């Protein structure tokens, strides 16, 4: 049923299902997550949940896709800003989310899903899709900055790879080593060194 969910579920119901899945996942982690625990967080009938999804893994793949869509929507609201502001917005979204503690809880469970990816093709494919899409967001922002003269001539793909890889590393340190300052330190470092590198030479 999971592959037909986009066309058969109205948006409010889909939002409620995804919210319930997110809440249950952050409460119980991947290993402790069950369809029943998701249903416990869902304020509509359990049968409705099972109508659209057969397994928790189907729900988790849908959640990853849903969260990518939310990121796209939030960034789209910022499209009229200059490239540096958009770059800052995207970095902050990925490091801190709309709520820092909830974001840390989600990053912890996301790391669990990444650990399953070598053995779970559906997770691997969706995570690959998400990572590629986020990488492309960085590429587009940097390319826009180069085109507008906000940034100097740089390789947008190389900058995107550097920034996204650094963000992922900081998030791993944050959730695995309990280094609460890791996201802030990474953000400061990025905008200390990266902005200098991107600044047009004529303005340096």
Residue 72 pLDDT level (bands cut at 50, 70, 90)? confident
pLDDT surpassing 90 at residue 57:
yes
The beta-strand segments (E) located in the chain are none
Q: pLDDT per residue over 121-155, tens digit each? A: 999 999 999 999 999 999 999 999 999 999 999 99
Q: What residue ranges do the domains of the chain occupy?
A: 1-77, 82-204
| pLDDT top residue among 1 and 124 | 124
Class of domain 1-77: mainly alpha
Euclidean distance between CA atoms 70 and 88, whole angstroms: 17
Euclidean distance between CA atoms 152 and 147, whole angstroms: 9
Q: pLDDT per residue over 5-43, tens digit each? A: 444 568 899 999 999 999 999 899 899 999 999 999 999
Average pLDDT score over residue span 99-120 = 91
Euclidean distance between CA atoms 110 and 7, whole angstroms: 26
Distance of alpha carbon 184 from its chain centroid, rounded? 17
82-204 folds as: Tetracycline Repressor; domain 2 (1.10.357)
Euclidean distance between CA atoms 138 and 118, whole angstroms: 26
Are 1-77 and 82-204 equal in CATH topology? no
């Amino acid at each position: 049923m999971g592959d037909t969910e986009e066309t058969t579920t109205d948006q409010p119901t889909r939002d409620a299902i995804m919210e319930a899945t997110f809440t249950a996942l952050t409460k119980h982690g991947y290993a402790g997550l069950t369809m029943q625990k998701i249903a416990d967080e869902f304020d509509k009938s359990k049968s409705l949940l099972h109508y659209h999804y057969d397994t928790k893994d189907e729900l988790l793949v849908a959640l990853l896709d849903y969260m990518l869509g939310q990121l796209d929507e939030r960034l789209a609201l910022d499209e009229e800003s200059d490239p540096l502001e958009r770059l800052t917005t995207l970095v902050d979204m990925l490091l801190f989310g709309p709520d820092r503690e909830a974001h840390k809880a989600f990053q912890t469970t996301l790391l669990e899903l990444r650990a399953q990816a070598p053995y779970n093709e559906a997770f691997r494919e969706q995570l690959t899709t998400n990572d590629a899409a986020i990488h492309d967001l960085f590429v587009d922002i940097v390319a826009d900055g180069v085109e507008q003269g906000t940034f100097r001539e740089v390789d947008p793909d190389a900058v995107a790879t550097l920034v996204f890889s650094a963000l992922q590393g900081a998030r791993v340190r944050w959730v695995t080593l309990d280094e609460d300052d890791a996201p802030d330190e990474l953000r400061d470092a990025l905008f200390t060194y990266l902005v200098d590198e991107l600044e047009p030479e004529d303005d340096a």
